[in-house]
Structure 1
Amino acid sequence: MAEKRIFCEHCLDDVAYHIENRELTRKLKGKNYTFKGQEAICDNCKKPVFVTKVDSGNRQALYASFKRENNIISVSEIEAVLKKYNIGAKPLSELLGWGINTIPRYLKGDIPKPAYSDLLRKIAVEPAYFLSLLKSGSDILKPVAYEKSLAAAEQLLKETKIDKEVLVSYYLLSKNDEITPLALQKLLYYTQGFSYIFIGEFMFASDCESWVHGPVYRDIYNQFQEFGREPIVLDRTYDISSCFTSQEILLLDSIVQHLSVYNGKVLEKFTHEESPWLSARGDLKEDEPSNKIIDKNGIADFFTRVKEKYDMLTVDDLSAYTKARFENLSF
């Protein structure tokens, strides 16, 4: 094996050298970072010499240390995103509106801006968000690249353990920032009922229980109970409309327009006068707890009769029902 030689600025001559593993400290963006690196040592004077390959490796190790300490996405995480969504580095850069070589540079070790890092991490864990970005930018990618990534994203969304009622909740909350946990429960119940009569099936599979304050979806209650009587504040700001069909979007928007305008106590009174909740409660006292399931057949039957009574033809006809119910309430 040929002896490794390089010019030593101390010896002023071409010399043999060897590599030693060292714990190094370097300054980056005004702060010192310590990392495991290497130094090339002159065999003659025992002083460090500059070797391009060693310097490049140390720079990448320094960048990796910086990323860890500042919670910046790593190269391996970015590679995982590309593999997860079956998309190339340049196409993803284009989709995100960045320079075409932005992500390729990150893969070579360059440090992403914090906002770019956060966005890549968001994409990594939220297939619904990536799918919405992909569909909104369908004209940006080449057809073959788009279809490959679309198939991967849709498959991931199917495999992701996010129940449909959670997505419905996020959609409703994103359209009205005054919805409390109590109101959300009733809006989910009405979504189910009106979905059955206008779409032909319930929008999600979960059952609701006949609690004292009306129909309740327990998992959603647990997720948002910390907000108490206050409006729910979402930490999600992205568009999840791609998770629903056009029919479902029309219905959800009508729920927002005609039902979310009422507060939780009003919606509670609505449900307390309707047969699905009343039948599930049976002879229980008004304040007696119950977790009995409200029968879906009962919900289907009740809302079918509502549709006939109010001559509902489209989802916009929800207004006739809600106005009539509100006018007949006694406070």
Structure 2
Amino acid sequence: MPVQSQFQSRPATMTVATARRYGGPEVLALETMPVPSPAPGEVLVRIHASTVTTGDWRLRGAAYPKGLRLVGRLVSGLFRPRHVVPGVTFSGTVVATGEGAARFAVGEPVFGGANSGGHAEYIVVPETGAIAAKPMSLTHAQAAALPFGAATADHFLRHLGQVRGGERVLITGASGAVGHAGIQIAKALGAHVTALTSPGNIDFVGGLGAEEVIDYTRQDVAEAGARFDVVFDTIGHLDFGRARGLLRRGGRYLTTEGGWREGRQMLVPWRRHGHVLRFGISEPDATQLLRLAEMAEAGKLAPAIERSFPLAEIARAHEAVETRRRRGVIALDMRPSSGDQPNLAAA
């Protein structure tokens, strides 16, 4: 079966963002590259929106957590980025399918995650990979936020933390891309949520469903007492030593900022109170994305977009992410040009 395409005349080139060396946002540039063709079992997606994530910032600047810098460089490229085109999320429309690819139809809105290539006008991905039909209830920018922020929160809370109904969960960095999704996912799991955030975000996180909000500028969360079953630290605000004082017997401390120290601590049996430390890497797959899409359609999960930048302003988007002070997600708007088919431009 030959490639099926929505193009009357397929564009030869596309605009992409590139990072050919490590450094600050200034290393990002726009370049022109050929539009890829889908191989057998692949789909070509015209990207409408992507996001700039904490992972994108870390990969661009080789800004890895303490103790993991050498390992990070070995993975992402010792002297320069291994993947020239950054971007780990996308949402858009299938415009071509390779031979044998039948999971998605040409013209179908989809979203997904990839190791790289999301900050481009087009991306080719395996149809069996981390890709799913876009929830109709979400915009493309919101759908693009699911494979990173929401998928990370889902992995930590559902899998690593095994949060159950009636448990009490504390989430730090509660207004960020992972944190604000974590509030909604913990609520969907039936937990009582306490959010730790700054004064300007109290109403925001409360509106997402947090039953209690702690302003970290006015109260030291370490004084809250041992009343949580799970502490989910999304920004490295707490270490395990401080977090243990907040945990009930058998409580779990989850951190997205794990390094060598946390790895060593995981090996220590904290038998006295049964406390557990867990961290890891979230790698979304189609099953998880389908679950998140179902939550979105059920009204239980809606990513908040703080601001959307055009691809030409990707450096500014990285600067916004690097502050680590945001309300929701920073998105990239890569709507199709007027040269594409009209229905590809639907938001």
Query: After TM superposition, is the score higher than 0.5?
Result: no
TM-score (norm 1): 0.27
Which structure would you say has the larger Rg? 1
TM-score (norm 2): 0.26
Q: Looking at both structures, which has the greater relative contact order when contacts are Cα pairs under 8 Å and sequence separation is at least 6? A: 2
Task: Give 1 or 2: higher helix fraction.
Answer: 1
Task: Give 1 or 2: higher strand fraction.
Answer: 2
